[in-house]
């Protein structure tokens, strides 16, 4: 019996082996069939394309047949206003069923957003409905509109435009041209030009994220950029104990050394339905490993059932790109433990610097909004395309960074600036696009580039000042006041839900600057350059409101955007350039010429002196300054909102007064003229400072008179890098309001001629600013 059983088992094994062999043969045959099928379909597709091309040419209306497509894209721009009419909206609508080019024009026209492209409506004249192919108004590549710069040239392209330029505004619909290739040389030449990327699959169908594209960006950054993007200094070593979200198990876990995590940066907005209970509990136990080295689920806390949509999408995204852990402030910080919350706020620079990647929800007004491309579609994802005998035309909506920079919801919030600046890599989710910035390169989903090609890199364009703060560097080893000015100017113009966060929300950025340069800060002002940092002024488009809880001498003590004059920020570069010019023109100077134009018998100090700083930001705000004080009569030139009738047409100033405009009365009893003005180019004006009306009342109560304290004497200053306009012998001073206890608070900053200052015979005094 046992022998029969053994024989049966042997036969069964042979049958299994035979079955396995048959299966392998079947799979091989199936693969061969699929390969042959794909080749057959490719050949059929190629023949179909050629037939469609012939058919398309025959389906052009008479006016479209006459358009010299290849010539339009190959010719050089004649002028900035050069454009060629290629159709009419109404005519194209009527012909789109019979003319493929008319259909393409209508489809291309309709991908524009509502606020950047007119819609067809009644009573439009033929002049309003004309369709043009126009050259770039500035003669630049198409990708510069998206804030991108690269060494490769752009492919042939035009902008689609309708109606008069004064009506349509800046074009946003790029029509790119890929000529029909006749040789390998043509193919090589075309591959070295930057084309808009053609979206495919779900990305084009419903505006989904292209996860493979994102992973290719991360791959290039991690494999090619090396130490430039892999921080190994103390700032990236997170010593703070934090919790993370495990995107696989949907639980909170305590981070261990070496755990790589992604951080989420978003706008909280209004309190969500679950915000009171979404954060990790302060009693969540520490995370340990069991005997197998696996995460022990008993020592974790599950995520709540309902969390805001942006967080849900971030979890999905992190999982799809192959990462495991996610840090979200609202979830991973115990919001009920105020001591622990403050400790993590103070270490925001460490948290975001240590994150492998930061997800930025650019346009989301609140935490329930979601991420574009994940739970909501990316806008303008469609790309109409047509193939003609001359080549392929494709229309792509290009979101203009320069038209909208710094105006997004995320860019308006105070906390988000340092989250951008401190991150190693930021992937930005905006309504119409996705991009990624690392410390070396800038990636954008509108670009079609061979990321693996050696030496190809794309960068952030620096055509203009980037109001979103992306051009600010916190890692420069040398102290740069211009960089500091950019930081505080952008930050102070942003909104805070709690005014008490004015310092906390930028503390991480200041900490990073301190680590890089060794400069210490006191209430946001650099202690080694404190005097220059005191002479900030309100931005030209706003006035300031006193913020309680912070000293008046710091910009943190005022709500509203501040800035520093160009002359004070760039002086080191200006003077070096000036000296180089003098040496070039006159040879080495044996003795530097005296730059003071005011001849006085008294030797005036070059600057005031800070005697002492506050001992602690939490207990004191007194800044002791050894200086001189002068009293000036004042004049209210015009009130807030009053029309500025004496402005030249070329003036940069607002036609209506922003705040009350004040000036000083000189030694001859007449109102002084401000020779430096308020803007980057020196412009003679009739006012020295601007105040909100409620603060003007303080000066009126003092009988239009106030004390000014001396800060610094400037032998020479220049207005901007684009100008060679110099002023000599100038004095910067602060207007102060005296308190009954002997202290004073700062109200405004002025820059006036030295002769007017010294004529008041200023007296030495120690001032306690609060």
What confidence score (pLDDT) does residue 579 get?
59
Residue 104 main-chain phi, psi, to 5 deg: -60, -40
252 close to 332: Cβ distance less than 8 angstroms = yes
Q: For the stretch 334-346, what's the b/e string if a residue is b when 16 or more beta carbons lie within 10 angstroms of its beta carbon?
A: bbeeeebeeebbe
Q: What is residue 73's DSSP assignment?
A: H
Output phi, psi for 24, to 5 deg.
Answer: -65, -40
The pLDDT score that the predictor gives to residue 471 is 83
Q: Which of 396, 374, 378, 394 is nearest to 386 (CA)?
A: 394
Q: What is the 3-state secondary structure (H, E, C) of 114-149?
A: CCCCCCCCCCCCHHHHEEEEECCCCCCCHHHHHCEE
For residues 569 and 574, what is the distance between their CA atoms, to the nearest angstrom? Answer: 10
d(CA 378, CA 372): 5
Q: Is the pLDDT of residue 287 over 60?
A: no
Name 194's bridge partners.
154
∠ CA 126-130-131, nearest 5°, is 165
| Per-residue pLDDT at 189 | 63
Q: What is the pTM of this model?
A: 0.78
Three-class DSSP category at 748: strand
CA atoms of 216 and 222, how far apart (whole Å): 10
H or E element in which residue 184 lies: helix 184-191
Q: What is the pLDDT of residues 378-427, one digit of tens each?
A: 988 889 999 988 889 999 999 888 777 778 889 899 988 998 998 989 99
Residue 678 clears pLDDT 60, i.e. is over it: yes
Condensed to tens digits (0 to 9), the pLDDT of residues 103-134 reads 999 999 888 765 544 445 555 666 678 888 98
What six digits make up the tokens of 301?
């806390």
Looking at the predicted structure, is the pLDDT value of residue 274 above 50? no
Q: How confident is the model at residue 41 (pLDDT cuts 50, 70, 90)?
A: low
Per-residue pLDDT, 592? 39
CA distance 329 to 327: 7
CA 352 and chain centroid, separation: 17
SS3 of residue 154 by DSSP: strand
3-state DSSP assignment of residue 699: helix
Please check whether residue 253 is in contact with residue 244, taking contact to mean a CB–CB distance below 8 angstroms: yes
> What are 440-462's pLDDT values in tens digits?
889 999 998 776 566 677 888 77
At residue 601, the pLDDT reads 40
Sign of CA dihedral 531, 472, 541, 676: positive
* Cα atoms in the 13 Å half-sphere on the side-chain side of 607: 13
Could you read off the pLDDT of 715-746 as tens digits, one per residue? 988 887 777 788 999 999 999 999 999 999 99
Question: Which whole number is the average pLDDT over 636-644?
Answer: 94
Three-state secondary-structure class, residue 28: helix
DSSP code per residue over 390-428: TEEEEEEE---HHHHTT-STGGGBHHHHHHHHH-S-EEE
List, in order, residues 6 or more apart from 672 with CB less than 8 Å away: 663, 664, 665, 666, 688, 752, 753, 756
Query: pLDDT class for 197, splitting at 50, 70, 90?
Result: very high
The residue ranking higher by pLDDT, 328 or 241, is: 328
Tokens of 159: 């902008």
pLDDT at 619 over 60: yes
Residue 280 is given by DSSP the state: P
Residue 18: per-residue pLDDT: 63
Lowest mean pLDDT among 173-187, 359-373, 481-495: 173-187
Give the closest residue to 258 by CA, choosing from 280, 283, 289, 282.
289
DSSP 3-state of 578:
helix
Phi, psi of 325 (to 5 degrees): -120, 145
pLDDT band (50, 70, 90) for residue 761? very high
What pLDDT is stored for residue 75 in this prediction? 61
Span of 138-147, 203-212, 669-678 with lowest mean pLDDT? 138-147
20-38 average pLDDT score:
59
Q: What's the mean per-residue pLDDT of the chain?
A: 82
Strand partners, 638: 661
What is the arithmetic mean of pLDDT over 161-174?
Answer: 70
Give 606's pLDDT tier (boundaries 50, 70, 90): confident
Q: Which one-letter DSSP state was computed for residue 374?
A: T
36 φ, ψ to 5°? -65, -35
Mean pLDDT, residues 190-208:
86
SS3 58: helix
Query: At what angle are helices 481-492 and 414-422 packed, to 10 degrees?
Result: 140
Lowest mean pLDDT among 185-189, 263-267, 328-332, 408-412: 185-189
Instruction: Decide which of 598 and 106 is more confident.
Output: 106
- CA 381 – CA 384 distance, rounded (Å): 10
Q: pLDDT at position 279, please? A: 67
CA distance 32 to 178: 35
Neighbours of 292 (CB within 10 A): 7
**SS3 assignment, position 72:** helix
Q: What is the mean pLDDT of residues 50-77?
A: 72
What size, in residues, is the chain?
A: 770
Range 255-284 average pLDDT: 72
At 64 the three-state DSSP class reads helix
Domain boundaries, the chain: 63-135+155-193, 226-339+353-378+402-460, 593-769
pLDDT tens digits for 311-341? Answer: 999 999 999 999 999 999 888 988 888 888 8
Could you read off the pLDDT of 66-109 as tens digits, one per residue?
Answer: 898 888 887 654 444 577 889 888 889 899 889 999 999 999 98
- The helix/strand/coil state of 151 is coil
Q: How many CB atoms lie within 10 A of CB 703?
A: 9
Give the mean model confidence (pLDDT) for residues 13-23: 65
The mean pLDDT value for 187-214 works out to 85
- Position 552 pLDDT exceeds 60: yes
| Distance of alpha carbon 415 from alpha carbon 409, whole angstroms | 12
pLDDT score at 292: 43
Tokens of 470: 């992306």
- Which of 212, 217, 194, 150 is CA-nearest to residue 426? 217
Interval 548-577 mean pLDDT: 85
Q: Which of 328-342, 592-606, 631-645, 708-722 has the lowest mean pLDDT?
A: 592-606
The predicted structure's pLDDT at residue 576: 63
pLDDT-based confidence at residue 571 (cuts at 50, 70, 90): low
CA torsion sign, 708 to 709 to 715 to 718?
Answer: negative
Cα 42 to Cα 30, 35, 46, 47, 184, distances in angstroms: 18, 11, 6, 9, 21
Q: CA-CA distance, 712 to 709, in Å (whole number)?
A: 10
* CA 447/CA 199 separation, integer angstroms: 10
Local structure of 570: helix, strand or coil: coil
pLDDT given at position 460? 82
Short-list 512, 483, 509, 501, CA closest to 549: 501
pLDDT of residue 607: 92
Report which of 155, 334, 374 is spatially closest to residue 254, judged by C-alpha positions. 334
Q: Looking at 474-621, which runs of residues are DSSP E strands?
A: 521-522, 525-526, 537-538, 545-546, 558-559, 562-563, 609-612
- Contacts with 141 (C-beta within 8 Å, 6 or more apart), sequence order: 153, 154, 194
Find the range with the poorest average confidence among 148-157, 258-267, 753-762. Answer: 148-157
Q: What pLDDT is stored for residue 597 in this prediction? A: 43
Helix (H) / strand (E) containing 434: strand 434-437
Contact call for residues 736 and 766 (beta carbons, < 8 A): no
Q: What mean pLDDT do residues 33-46 have?
A: 53
Query: Rounded to whole angstroms, what are the CA distances from 284 to 249, 278, 348, 507?
Result: 16, 13, 21, 28
Residue 165 has pLDDT above 90, yes or no: no
Q: Residue for token digits 């006041």? A: 481
What tokens does 504 get? 């906390």
């Amino acid at each position: 019996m046992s022998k029969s059983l053994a024989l049966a088992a042997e036969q069964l094994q042979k049958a299994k082996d035979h079955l396995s062999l048959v299966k392998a043969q079947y799979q091989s045959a199936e693969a061969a069939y699929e390969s042959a099928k794909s080749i057959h379909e490719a050949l059929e597709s190629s023949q179909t394309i050629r037939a469609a091309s012939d058919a398309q040419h025959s389906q052009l209306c008479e006016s479209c047949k006459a358009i010299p497509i290849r010539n339009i894209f190959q010719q050089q721009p004649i002028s900035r206003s050069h454009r060629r009419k290629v159709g009419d909206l109404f005519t194209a609508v009527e012909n789109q069923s019979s003319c493929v080019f008319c259909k393409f024009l209508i489809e291309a026209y309709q991908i524009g957003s509502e606020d950047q492209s007119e819609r067809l409506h009644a009573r439009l004249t033929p002049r309003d409905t004309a369709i043009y192919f126009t050259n770039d108004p500035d003669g630049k590549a198409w990708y510069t509109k998206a804030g991108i710069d690269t060494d490769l040239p752009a492919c042939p392209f035009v902008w689609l435009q309708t109606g008069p330029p004064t009506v349509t505004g800046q074009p946003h619909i790029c029509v790119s041209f890929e000529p029909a290739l006749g040789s390998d040389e043509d193919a090589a030449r075309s591959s070295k030009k930057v084309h808009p990327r053609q979206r495919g699959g779900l990305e084009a169908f419903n505006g989904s994220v292209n996860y493979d594209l994102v992973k290719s960006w991360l791959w290039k950054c991690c494999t090619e950029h090396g130490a430039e993007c892999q921080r190994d200094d103390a700032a990236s070593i997170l010593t703070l104990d934090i919790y993370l979200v495990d995107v696989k198990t949907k639980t909170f876990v305590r981070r261990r050394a070496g755990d790589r995590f992604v951080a989420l940066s978003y706008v909280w907005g209004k309190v969500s339905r679950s915000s009171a209970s979404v954060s990790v509990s302060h009693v969540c136990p520490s995370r340990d490993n069991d005997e197998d080295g696996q995460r022990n689920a008993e020592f974790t806390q599950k995520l709540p059932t309902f969390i805001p949509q942006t967080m849900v999408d971030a979890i999905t995204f992190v999982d799809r790109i192959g990462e495991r852990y996610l840090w979200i402030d609202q979830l991973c910080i115990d919001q009920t433990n105020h001591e622990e919350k403050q400790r993590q706020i103070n270490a925001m620079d460490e948290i975001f610097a240590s994150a492998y990647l930061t997800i930025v929800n650019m346009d989301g007004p609140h935490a329930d909004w979601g991420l574009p491309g994940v739970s909501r579609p990316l806008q303008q994802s469609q790309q109409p395309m047509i193939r003609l005998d001359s080549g392929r035309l494709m229309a792509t909506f290009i979101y203009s960074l320069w038209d909208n920079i710094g105006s997004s919801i995320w860019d308006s919030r105070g906390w988000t600036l340092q989250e951008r600046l401190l991150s190693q890599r930021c992937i930005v989710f905006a309504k119409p696009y996705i991009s990624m910035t690392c410390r070396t390169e800038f990636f954008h989903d509108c670009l079609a580039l061979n990321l693996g090609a050696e030496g190809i890199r794309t960068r952030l364009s620096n055509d203009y000042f980037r109001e979103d703060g992306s051009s600010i560097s916190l890692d420069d080893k040398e102290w740069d006041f211009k960089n500091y000015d950019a930081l505080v100017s952008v930050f102070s113009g942003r909104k805070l839900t709690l005014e008490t966060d004015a310092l906390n929300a930028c503390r991480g950025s200041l900490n990073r600057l301190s680590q890089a340069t060794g400069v210490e800060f006191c209430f946001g002002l650099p202690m080694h350059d404190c005097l220059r940092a005191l002479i900030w002024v309100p931005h030209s488009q706003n006035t300031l409101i006193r913020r309680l809880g912070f000293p008046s001498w710091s910009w943190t003590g005022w709500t509203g955007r501040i800035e520093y004059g160009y002359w004070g920020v760039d002086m080191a570069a200006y003077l070096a350039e000036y000296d180089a010019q003098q040496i070039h023109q006159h040879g080495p100077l044996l003795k530097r010429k005296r730059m003071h134009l005011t001849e006085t018998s008294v030797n005036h100090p070059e600057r005031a002196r800070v005697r002492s700083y506050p001992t602690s930001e939490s207990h004191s705000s007194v800044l002791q300054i050894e200086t001189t004080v002068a009293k000036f009569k004042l004049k209210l030139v015009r009130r807030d909102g009053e029309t500025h009738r004496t402005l030249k047409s070329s003036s940069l100033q607002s036609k209506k007064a922003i705040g009350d405009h004040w000036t000083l009365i000189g030694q001859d009893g007449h109102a002084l003229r401000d020779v430096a003005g308020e803007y980057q180019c020196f412009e003679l004006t009739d006012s020295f400072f601007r105040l909100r009306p409620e603060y003007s009342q303080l000066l009126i109560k003092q009988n239009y008179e106030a004390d000014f304290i001396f800060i610094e004497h400037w032998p020479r200053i220049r207005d901007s890098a684009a100008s060679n306009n110099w002023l000599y012998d100038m004095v910067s001073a602060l207007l102060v309001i005296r308190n009954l206890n002997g202290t004073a608070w700062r109200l405004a900053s002025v820059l006036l001629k030295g002769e007017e200052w010294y004529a008041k015979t200023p007296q030495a005094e120690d001032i306690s600013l609060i």
